Structures are given as structure tokens and as C-alpha cells.
Amino acid sequence: MIDNDKQRLNKDVVILGGGMVGAATAIGLAQLGLTVALVEAFEPKAFSPEQPLDLRVSAISVASEQLLERLGALDTIATMRQVAYKGLETWELDGFITQFHSDQIGVSHLGHIVENRIVQLALWQAFEQHDNLTLICPAKAEQFIRIDDGIRVQLDNQMIINTRLLIGADGANSQVRQWAGIGITGWDYAQSAMLINIETETAEQDVTWQQFTPKGPRSLLPLPGNNASLVWYDDANRIAQLSNLSHQALTEQIKLHFPDRLDKGFKVIDHGSFKLTRRHAQRYYDDNVVILGDAAHTINPLAGQGVNLGFKDAAALIDCFTDAITHRQCWWHQDLLAKYQAKRYRDNQLMMSTMDLFYASFSNDLLPLKLLRNSALKIANIDSPIKQKVLKYAMGF
């Protein structure tokens, strides 16, 4: 439902940001019977099978898939395009590899690689099942004003919405977070990542792999059909230089700097880049305000956990609301929002710190440290209860 006609609305919840995490949160709260307004500036482009694959893809974990199924979006994703991945492999030196596979814990797959837009589209299609969910698009927030036990949101289309709770799912530069005065800690990594879609001679793959180098990892994510996504992490200036190359020249650079296991008969189709940053909000809530997803945290993408952390945020917030509504409690008060923060803050912090540790460790080329970390990778490859726990964590559990 796209509604720009009514000029004044009263809603239980207003969510700013209709990306994957914001859309998931909107459906989850609508399923609880709350009236929800979702405000988004841009409508995602419709899907057709002939379209080239998008550069922005995510490794959707099994836990995230379970949330998407509850929200009525998982089957829709399957009707568009995705590819299951069964294996995760990482190494630095040949012979010191850690390999995880779904067979080791008796499951069919570890997750799916899906274009971000397709996940968003599937969620947007699920909006139609909820008359109490109003999508307002295109629109942007111009002003927030505190009112009695709530917030008034003024949009750029002159619409005014009064709400009990304002949810910021509006990305790393969150307008909601800044307005609420929620500070952030973090830094830039002085690195960028280049995303490169390639067409391969090899048939569809089911393993995602990553080789560490002192300059940054080189990764492959399988895509549907004879396609794959390469991720090249490097110094920001180096990535800027690579971005200016022709497809043929970039192909030659990839052949020089990626591991030999990469299919050499590939062809570059598209590429783009982004800077690596770490940001973590000092808290996740304020009076009648809560933030989640990239508005609350951005993480080094080494393990591809960004959107999965966002979906965990959404699931935790929905669970908190469910409990409050069941026990006839005020779901918009700080006590409830504090429970949501308690569920998510430490888990997010742990994942962010773990990725930073990997980043720092593998960026150091000192021989003793290199031998130590490669020995650790080889030990980690031994089938053990610890390895199974790591696998389950990779699946989001």
C-alpha cells in the first residue's frame, strides 16, 4: 500500500527506512496487530529474470531465512533467484586451510547468497498481506517533534504522522540516531572493498571462500548460474586505481592477485567499491526511539555478517514486543527498549570485535605471527565440537 493522499496519520509505530531490516521489522510488528507506517525514499526496481545480477549481495544465514519465512518472504525470494552455499573455506598459506561444510552438522545448506534488492522486494510484496501496514514512498522525514508520550514526524510531502515509537532503520548515517542524540564510536579502516561480478566457465558453485593477504582478503561468493561475486579488499588508493581500469585490464589484475583456484576463464561483467568503516551506537534507544541494523552498527564485512546482525536485531525487537503485548505491558516505554538492547548490544559488540581481531591479525606480515595464525587455521579444521559450534554460529544460531 502506497499512501501519500492522507495528510495526517496516527500510527503505533513509524519506521524510517524500508531496506531489508526496516521492511522485516515493519512486517513483524504488523503481524502483532500494531499499526505501522514505513517511510522510504526509493522504491526498489522490479525484478525480471533477464536483468543482470546486482553488485550488492548478502550471505543470508539459516537463522535469517527462518525469520524471512515467518514474515512471508522466503518463498518469494525462491521464485526470483538465489544460490545455496554449503561450504565456507578460509586460508592464508596453502596447506593451512579451514573448511566448514553443511554435511558436518547434517544440514542441507549454511545459507543462501541473494541480491539485497531481491530480499527487499520479497519483503515489500509481503506488505500486501497487512492492512495495518502503510508504506509511504517516495518520502523523506523533514522534522521530528516530541509530543505527549510520543513523536510527531513531518515528511517532505507535507504528511504528518503521530506515533508512540519511532524506529530508525535508516542506515549508517541514520537521521533518527542523530536527531535522538545517540553518539557513535568507531573508525575508518583506511581500506576499501571492490565488488566484482564475473561470468565463469565453471557451473554454479556451492562454496564461498576467502584467502587472507597482508593487503586484505580476496573472496568469492557463488551466484546463480555461471556467475560469481569477487570481493577485493585493499588500500583505498589501490581500489580507486582498480576502479578506473577497463574490464579487460581488471581481469588481468584479478588473475595476478587472486588464488589459483579461481576459474581463469572468467569475464568481468560489473564492478563497484565502498570504503570500510566500523561504527557502533553508544546505545540503541532513547525516549520513544529505537535504532537497529546499520543505524546501530556497521561491521567489517570479512564474514558477511552485516545484514544477518540486522535481522537478529529485528527478530529481537519483535520478540520483545510480542512479550510486552502478551503481558499487556507498554511496548513503547524505555523498559522494553532496554530489554531489546540487552539482547543485542553484547552480541553485536562481540561479532564486531572478532572481525576486528581477524582484520588486525591477518594485516600483519610478521613471520612468527603468520606461522601462529596459520597453525590456528589448520587446528580449527579438525572436526570437533568447537568446529560444530562455529558452524552453527555461522548459520546464525
- DSSP per residue over 100-119, as a string? EEGGGGT-S-SEEEEEHHHH
Q: What nine digits make up the cell of 308? A: 544477518
- Torsion angle, alpha carbons of 333, 73, 224, 58, to 10: 0
State the amino acid at position 63 in one-letter form. Answer: A
Output the pLDDT for position 215. 86
Contacts of 183 (CB under 8 A, 6+ apart): 281, 282
Which pLDDT score, from 0 to 100, does residue 277 have? 87
Q: Are 280 and 186 in contact (CB under 8 A)?
A: yes
Instruction: Give the pLDDT score at 263.
Output: 86
Exposure letters 59-95 (e unless 16+ CB within 10 A, then b): bbbbbbbbbbeebbbbebbeebbbbebbbbbbbbeee
Strands (E), the chain: 8-16, 36-39, 57-61, 83-85, 87-91, 97-101, 111-115, 133-136, 141-147, 150-155, 160-168, 184-199, 207-211, 218-223, 227-235, 267-281, 285-286, 289-291, 297-298
Q: What is residue 301's predicted lDDT score, i.e. its pLDDT?
A: 72
Q: How far apart are CA 226 and CA 200, in angstroms?
A: 5
* Predicted local distance difference test score (pLDDT) of residue 303: 59
pTM value? 0.91
Cα distance between residue 300 and residue 306, in whole Å: 8
Looking only at the bridges linking them, the beta strands covering 267-281 and 97-101 are unpaired
Contact 213, 94 (CB under 8 A): no
pLDDT reported for residue 4: 47
- In this structure, the strands spanning 160-168 and 289-291 are parallel
What ranges in 170-305 are assigned the alpha helix state H? 175-179, 236-243, 247-257
Half-sphere exposure of 58 (CA within 13 A, CB side): 21
Residues in the chain, pLDDT under 50: 1-5, 367, 378-379
**Residue 39, C-beta contacts closer than 8 angstroms, at least 6 positions apart:** 14, 15, 16, 17, 18, 136, 137, 139, 140, 141, 153, 155
Q: 69 CB contacts (<8 Å, ≥6 apart)?
A: 75
Residues in the chain: 397
**CA of 304: how far to CAs of 4, 57, 60, 270, 308, in Å?**
36, 10, 9, 20, 8
Angle between helix axes 306-326 and 334-362 (nearest 10 degrees) is 160
CA angle, residues 392, 396, 397, in degrees to nearest 5: 55
